[in-house]
Each structure stands twice: as structure tokens, then as C-alpha cells.
Structure 1
Amino acid sequence: MDAELFPRTRTEVAPGAVHLPDWLDTGRQRELLRACRGWARPPAGLRTVRLPGGGTMSARQVCLGRHWYPYGYARTVVDGDGAPVKPFPAWLGDLGRRAVADALGAPAATAAAYDIALVNFYDAGARMGLHRDSDERADAPVVSLSLGDTCVFRFGNPHTRTRPWTDVELRSGDLFVFGGPSRLAYHGVPRVHVGTAPPELGLTGRLNITLRVSGLEAPRADRL
């Protein structure tokens, strides 16, 4: 919006969970969108995630660094085309460390080395149920970047999917970081406001780029 009755400012939603509005300028959003479009192409491209109970996620996903599937990580798209997962670019790790520094105040140089990205695409009607990011073996903060349509981001607590929770409006360019006591908080996306993406971005739908530290052993060079 060009004008706000109440300007959006940095908000600590819960201990260790911080929302920074408009963290990405328009130029950086376009760069990220261009990268996402490249990552979404096959092989190891955008896929529908199948859940253990037989259902599917309505948001589609592509992974970098390691491939996430329910309750685990792999080096190949084990629940898709079987191709090797796309590499995690160093510049994206730098962006993650800077995000943590800006949101939580820790020096970027001391932040953990991000090595995984999950890119979720929400088209009309897509949602994300309440869940925890608990398949990693590291407790580094999760970095979440939004592009495109505005969404309602529901941020709960580490103990239960029920209340208390806080609903946060995430717009294109917003940053949300959660770590410390909120690292394993339940969170989800109950609603996407279709058609609210900035026209200059040229995106229909919503992209969420989530950066994580796996804590998993790096592969040996001869296995690459």
C-alpha cells in the first residue's frame, strides 16, 4: 500500500520470532522470483508433496540443497522424478545470515551456515496446515521470505496445534524469522489473499522461500 494508517514496523510476535515488513526491496524480489522460476523447472522441479496418510499438500514445492519429504531429507527427489536435488547457492545462504542479523540482532558472521531451502508455491485455494519444522538436526533460526500474494501466517506455540496463536499478515517482501524458544513453534498458512501481489512483480500466486540449517553431515566430494 502507498499509505498506511498505522505504518508496519518490526514486531516480535513471540520470543525469538520476529516479523520485518518490506525487508526485500522490489529489485531483490524480482531477483528472487527469477531464481525461483529457474529452480521450479525439471528435473527436480516443482512437485506436489504426497503425505503419509495418502493426501497431498495444496501448496507445491521445490527444494534446494537437500530434498525434503515428510519426516526426512534426501539427496534425490525420492518422492518425485528421482533426480538429484538442485544445489543450494551461496548467495542464498548469505541472505539468510543477513536476515537473522537484521531480525534477531546477532552478527551475520556468527550465524549458522544455511544449506537448505524449501520453496512453496501457493496458487488460488492453496493452504498450509499447522506443522513444526522438526526434521533438521540443528536449532538455527528458520528464515521465511514472502513473494507475491499476501497471506495470513498463523504462528502458534511449540507445544500444541491449538491456541494460543497469532495471525500475521505477510506481504510481498516481508521477512519472518523464528528461532530460540520459538524454533519448534507450530505454524501454517490458513488463507492467501488472491490477487494482492504487487503488479510490478509479475507473479500470480504466492511464493514462500524458507531457509534452514540441516545439521546433517555434508556429502563426501566423491559422492557429488
Structure 2
Amino acid sequence: MQGLLDLTAPESEARQQIGPDAWLLKGFALNDADALLAAIEQIAAQAPFRHQVTPGGYQMSAAMSSCGAYGWVTDRHGYRYSALDPQTSQPWPAMPALFAELAERAAQNAGFTHFAPEACLINRYETGARMGLHQDKDEQDFTAPIVSISLGAPITFLFGGSNRSDPTSRWLLEHGDVVVWGGVSRLYFHGVAPLAKKASHPATGAVRYNLTFRKVS
């Protein structure tokens, strides 16, 4: 089946544990990468990327869109999920079947069965864009994992602990890599370092896309 890991390969090459109940699946989405990028383009035509503003008034450096039953929104009123795109007052684009199937397979590979994502937050990183350490805690169901797919230019993923001050480990995320965390690590702080000036990939140029799948309700 496309996307499944070659479990005969050394674990250091295919499946790396980055924390308790947290895994980096190297190249897991590589076979589906072209189709994922094409789907992102279609989604962005309906729900254009935008730089959202935090409750504190800061513009986020990564541009965002969403698909699925819910989209993630931030503005002066706070962080939340919404069934409607506030930019168009229309429902978010439907989540492509490939997105949901791939996220479910990745979750299962990491030991989380029956994952059914309701939201996919799509981030677009250009040179210098970053994501500070944060917790994914706007969801109602913390028993479901987070699944994160990287496409395009490589970036450094930061994975910490349950407190913002905990030490962070650094992991290079490349085109087609997937990170899955849940269980003990579900509310661990995480983020990405700024996208380096020389970071590039033939499929996207100096751009990195990230698909983050979450069960919201």
C-alpha cells in the first residue's frame, strides 16, 4: 500500500522515536507527495492562504488555510475552531480522501488506531517563517493524536515537554516526512525553527508546506 513504511529498513532510517508516544516516520508520505501538493493548490483556490493575527496583535509568519469540517482560526478574540472560513463566511473546503486516509495510516503506524481527523490546518512557510513553541490544546478530545506531514523545503522541528521551559530536541523534517504524537506527549510543546535562506525543494522551491491533522470534537 502506498505510504506504508518499509519496516525491513533500519529503524534509524524509517521510524524514529522522538519522545514518549511520539514518532518521526521518515518518507512516509513521499509516494503521495505530488497528489498532496496538487490538492493543496485546489484547497487554496477556495480558501486562500492568509497570515492570521494572534490575540496579542502579532501577525503569524506562516500563512495558513484549512480544510475539513473545521478550520483553525486566530484573531483578537482568541484561538478557536470554526466551521466557516471567516474570510468568506463559507464552509472550509472538504478534506480530500487522500488526506484523511494518509493521516489514519500514519497514526496507525505510530500505534494510534481509529484516528478520524476532522480538521487539517495547512501552513505555508517561506524564508524566515517559523512557529514558536506551543501546545495543540484547542481541541476537545486529547485522546486522539496529532499527525503532521511535511512537504517541500526542509525545516527543523522542535519537540519539547509538558512545560515550555523543558529542553527541546531538534529533528530535520524533509519532503514526505510525517510526525505523529499523542498519549503522554499529546500536550507537549513543539514548533519549528525559521525556514533557512537556502532551504529549497524541486517540487516547491523555497517553500515548505505542513499539513496538521486533528480530531476536534
TM over 0.5: yes
TM-score normalised by the chain length of structure 1? 0.83
TM-score normalised by the chain length of structure 2? 0.86
Selected match of 2:168 from 165, 168, 177 = 165
Equivalent position of 1:21 in the other structure: 26
Matched, 1:32 2:36: yes
Hey, what's the Cα distance between the residues in 2 that align with 1:184 and 1:164?
15
1:18-167 matches, within 5 Å, as: 18-25=23-30, 27-42=31-46, 44-65=47-68, 66-70=70-74, 71-78=79-86, 80-104=87-111, 106=112, 110-139=113-142, 140-158=144-162, 160-167=163-170
Deviation per residue, 1:112-145 (Å, 9 max, x gap): 2111100000011111111111111112010000
Are the aligned partners of 1:172 and 1:197 in contact in 2 as well (CA < 8 Å)? no
Are the aligned partners of 1:149 and 1:193 in contact in 2 as well (CA < 8 Å)? no
Hey, what's the Cα distance between the residues in 1 that align with 2:205 and 2:198?
9
Matched, 1:211 2:216: no
Equivalent position of 1:220 in the other structure: none
Deviation per residue, 1:51-87 (Å, 9 max, x gap): 1111110000011121211321111122x33332111
Hey, what's the Cα distance between the residues in 2 that align with 1:182 and 1:57?
25
SS at match of 2:13: coil
Hey, what's the Cα distance between the residues in 1 that align with 2:204 and 2:134?
30
Hey, what's the Cα distance between the residues in 1 that align with 2:53 and 2:211?
20
Deviation per residue, 1:154-181 (Å, 9 max, x gap): 01112x2123211111011101000001
| Amino acid across the alignment from 2:150 | S
Which aligned segments of 4 or more residues in structure 1 are displaced greater than 6 angstroms? Answer: none
- What is the RMSD of the two structures over their aligned residues, measured on CA atoms? 1.6
Hey, what's the Cα distance between the residues in 2 that align with 1:100 and 1:130?
22
SS at match of 2:59: coil
Are the aligned partners of 2:154 and 2:199 in contact in 1 as well (CA < 8 Å)? yes
1:170-185 matches, within 5 Å, as: 170-185=173-188
Are the aligned partners of 1:118 and 1:211 in contact in 2 as well (CA < 8 Å)? yes
Q: Point out where structure 1 has 5 or more consecutive residues left out of the alignment.
A: 1-6, 216-224
Q: Percent identity?
A: 35
Equivalent position of 2:9 in the other structure: none
Q: How far is the alpha carbon of 1:195 from its aligned partner?
A: 4.2
Equivalent position of 1:11 in the other structure: 16
Hey, what's the Cα distance between the residues in 2 that align with 1:83 and 1:48?
18
After TM superposition, the structure 1 stretch with the greater mean CA deviation from structure 2, 64-73 or 134-143, is: 64-73
Are the aligned partners of 2:153 and 2:204 in contact in 1 as well (CA < 8 Å)? no
Hey, what's the Cα distance between the residues in 1 that align with 2:41 and 2:197?
19
Taking structure 1 as reference, are residues 186 and 202 closer, same or farther at Cα in structure 2, changes over 3 Å only? closer
Q: How many residues align?
A: 200
SS at match of 1:41: helix
Q: How far is the alpha carbon of 1:189 from its aligned partner?
A: 0.8
Are the aligned partners of 1:149 and 1:195 in contact in 2 as well (CA < 8 Å)? no
